[in-house]
Chains A and B, each alone.
Chain A
């Protein structure tokens, strides 16, 4: 048996060296610590992260650094328009992070807040203002199973779920080392997608793309997504009436019709606000714009959403650390290139508007 221990010891030592080299190499592909925490980069400049959830989990230490910070949470319609670099000059002394995650539901946003607090020591200096970007879509009944953020957080046993909340399995210092250990995988995980995009979605290879396109879904959303993916300039895209109707019909089918939203989502929102307040931090509920044709197409869900949010906010009336900001003024149809996403030309406007509204809301100066 002594031989077995010898082989095991030598091979584990050699493997540790090899893996260390991979960690070092991964820093060439991905910045060790981002200057701005911004999940937008995952789809633009830093594709090595494969998805926003992985970026979030492996970079959230940035959100735990001392200092006053605004953390924008939401889905992809909050990820793109709110640019930290545009907002910071209007908010002196505050760092802005956009931590939005594609398709995030209210449950995933709650997980995101859990993960921020798990990374941040309870005695950390500075205050965090969470901007929770919402519309009715965040409150639709979630799909079964874990959301992408939780999948990443649970990966490799870094965290576990206890009583519905994410909890770290290791002390923060060990957790940091473990997260570094997972970086090479983050690079590797992006390779299949990058290869796929480079070959099969490449418009310079029309025959390959045509072949792949045959296997795409023929539903209105897939076809419209494919169409806008081919447009060089999204600012010029308008959604035709028949596409509006088809997209709306598909959404309604997916949601089981236009109906009142489940209560559970609003309870999660209330718990989320309570958790943030228990840490002495502040919350801004941001009502995101939605095209008029979309909002008017789901009157029951929309009314249920407005009432639910209002009821939750009513519990915090008089609390200067809880505020509500609406961007409904941007609901005009021509501002959107699909059923929920604003056109890029509006992003600087929306960023500055949000910064102004935050400054005016009083949450930045409210006592803890």
Chain B
């Protein structure tokens, strides 16, 4: 229209969405939630390095 691209005008990208029935989630939010779940599981199963002797 005025030669201004959407990104230049600060317009947010519409993004990628996934929908299962009534459940709708944006791709970025899904990545954040999945990352947290993975980190939580890894924190439970990966052994903690033992540096100094603890009481």
The answer to whether A binds B is: no
